Amino acid sequence: MLKKNWLITGCSTGLGRAFAQEILKNGHNVVVTSRNIDDIQDIIQDYPQTALGAALDVTDKTQIENAIEQTMQKFGRIDVLINNAGFGYRSAVEEADETQVATLFNANFFGMVNMIKKVLPIMRKQKSGTIFNVSSIAGRYSNPGSGYYSATKFAVEGLSDALKKEVAPLGIRVIIIEPGQFRTDFSGRSLTGAQTEIADYKETAGKRRKENDCTYGTEKGNPQKAAQAIIKVEESKKVPFRLLLGSDAIEITRLELETQIEELENWKNISLSTDS
């Protein structure tokens, strides 16, 4: 096994924590990050030689620079970046608070951009590297109440698609991770929502508010197995651009793609009528 240096954002809970633990277990070096470094001390203590802990809020460019500087001082290079930090948000489009939505985009999208822009010069110099951007099946389609969260993940996917084509000739790979439902804190501590509730949306977005969500703790997805899958993909010579994780992710995405193809065919004549 070729030992590599991984930098992972958002390791306090959920998939990020599972990624860090499993990658360390497999003998790699990992920069384990969290906004509150106390939340990751147990991981660092378990792997004192190969784990480096760093306080990192991806919306804080100074903290990003400090974390990357620490990484380079200890390990000398960054082979893999996993942009995992972020949180969920539920609200009907009309109900959402602008400040909350701005915070959501800063964490889920612009935080990822901040990390990529600081890590790319290192990977370009190395002429190698892998960037995993954690999206979601919500980056393929959107449910009522998830419009803003999905918007952040659609943005992640659009930027990643362009980035992949820009950096491939430089020896750098870009992979989107699209998880289905996993047994994490996503539907618990990590989920927020609008303070305003409009009665007309009770039967659509209302059913998916945090207090009405019944999925927490019952999800099929195993975070440790997700981490194992990420390691296998990173070690592969040929990698996917979009990596679905979970049987529900496969089922939902297949249905969405079939629906889009059916709509394309049904309206093809109108679409073609616009050509000169």
In this structure, are residues 22 and 224 in contact, taking their beta carbons and an 8 Å threshold? yes
pLDDT attached to residue 77: 97
Helix (H), strand (E), coil (C) string for the chain: CCCCEEEECCCCCHHHHHHHHHHHHCCCEEEEEECCHHHHHHHHHHCCCCEEEEECCCCCHHHHHHHHHHHHHHHCCCCEEEECCCCEEEECCCCCCHHHHHHHHHHHHHHHHHHHHHHHHHHHHHCCEEEEEECCHHHCCCCCCEHHHHHHHHHHHHHHHHHHHHHHHHCEEEEEEEECCECCCCCCCCEEECCCCCHHHCCCHHHHCHHHCCCCCCCCECHHHHHHHHHHHHHCCCCCCEEEECHHHHHHHHHHHHHHHHHHHHCHHHHHCCCC
Mean per-residue pLDDT for 188-213?
Answer: 83
pLDDT attached to residue 194: 86
pLDDT attached to residue 28: 98
Burial class of 255 by CB neighbour count within 10 A (0 to 12, 13 to 18, 19+):
exposed
pLDDT attached to residue 213: 63
Query: For 114-140, how does the pLDDT look when each residue is reduced to its tens digit (9 = 90+)?
Result: 999 999 999 999 999 999 999 999 999
Cα separation, 237 vs 38, in Å, equals 37
Cα separation, 156 vs 151, in Å, equals 9
Q: Is the pLDDT of residue 79 over 80?
A: yes
Q: Is the pLDDT of residue 155 over 70?
A: yes
Q: Please state, rounded to an integer, the average pLDDT across all residues of the chain.
A: 94
Per the model's pLDDT, the better-predicted residue between 67 and 182 turns out to be 67
Cα separation, 64 vs 53, in Å, equals 13
Active site positions, annotated: 135, 149, 153
- For 197, what's the count of Cα atoms within 13 Å in the CB-facing half-sphere? 13
Q: Is the pLDDT of residue 151 over 70?
A: yes
Selection from 4, 101, 120, 103 nearest residue 58 by Cα = 103
Q: Is the pLDDT of residue 3 over 80?
A: yes
Q: Is the pLDDT of residue 177 over 80?
A: yes
Neighbours of 133 (CB within 10 A): 26
In this structure, are residues 75 and 5 in contact, taking their beta carbons and an 8 Å threshold? yes
Percentage of the chain beyond pLDDT 70 is 95
Cα separation, 180 vs 221, in Å, equals 7
Q: What is the CA radius of gyration of the chain?
A: 19
Domains of the chain: 5-249 (3.40.50.720)
Per the model's pLDDT, the better-predicted residue between 2 and 78 turns out to be 78
- Residue 216 banded pLDDT, cuts 50, 70, 90: low
Which letter, b or e, does each residue of 85-114 get, where b requires 16 or more Cβ atoms within 10 Å of its Cβ? Answer: bbbbbbbbeebbeeebbeebbbbbbebbbb
Lowest mean pLDDT among 178-182, 188-192, 225-229: 188-192
Per the model's pLDDT, the better-predicted residue between 207 and 130 turns out to be 130
Q: Is the pLDDT of residue 17 over 70?
A: yes
pLDDT attached to residue 76: 97
- Residue 220 banded pLDDT, cuts 50, 70, 90: confident
Burial class of 176 by CB neighbour count within 10 A (0 to 12, 13 to 18, 19+):
buried
